[in-house]
Amino acid sequence: KSKYSKKTLVYYINLASVPLLASAVLLRGEATAVIEAIHVASPLFLAVNVVVAVVGGLLGFVSLWTVHTLGAGAYSFIGALLKVPVVLIGTLLFGDVLTLYSGAFCALGILASVIFSIGESAKQPCQCSCSRQQLRSLGLTTFL
């Protein structure tokens, strides 16, 4: 059990992303472009950014709930599998071309989540009603 509330965890997780994003903007030389952009001062731009910030915060709560409910292994695996539809939707909506790079991105993410899921499941005893002999016959010795 964490000594921090979920609200505090989401706040600090989001706050931790600010230095990373700011350093990326500075390293790429985009700071002046952001400051000089006409749209930054418009009310519509500000309203859309408030909505995005609220949705991002809610996603943090959903992520914590998912890890709490399903476990870290399932959360990692689901997150990796979601890369595939994101790449496909991006290809369809924005006319992007599927490349070896985007395919490797999906494959690497899925591979990493499978390895992580196997590692997480190896730490926990099997909670299923199958006997050890049945699991061995199926080749599922990883879960024993």
- Position 143 scores a pLDDT of 46
Reported pTM = 0.51
For residue 87, give the nearest of 105, 70, 74, 69 by alpha carbon.
Answer: 105
- pLDDT, block means (10 residues), the chain with 144 residues: 76 85 89 82 89 87 81 75 80 85 80 75 59 58 48
- Position 34 scores a pLDDT of 81
- Position 27 scores a pLDDT of 92
- Position 118 scores a pLDDT of 75
Contact 83, 113 (CB under 8 A): no
- Position 124 scores a pLDDT of 60
The residue assigned the tokens 């985009």 is 30
Question: In angstroms, rounded to a whole number, what is the distance separating the alpha carbons of residues 98 and 71?
Answer: 32
- Position 133 scores a pLDDT of 63
Count how many residues are written for the chain.
Answer: 144
Q: Where are the alpha helices (DSSP H) in the chain?
A: 6-27, 31-36, 43-70, 72-81, 83-94, 100-123, 132-137
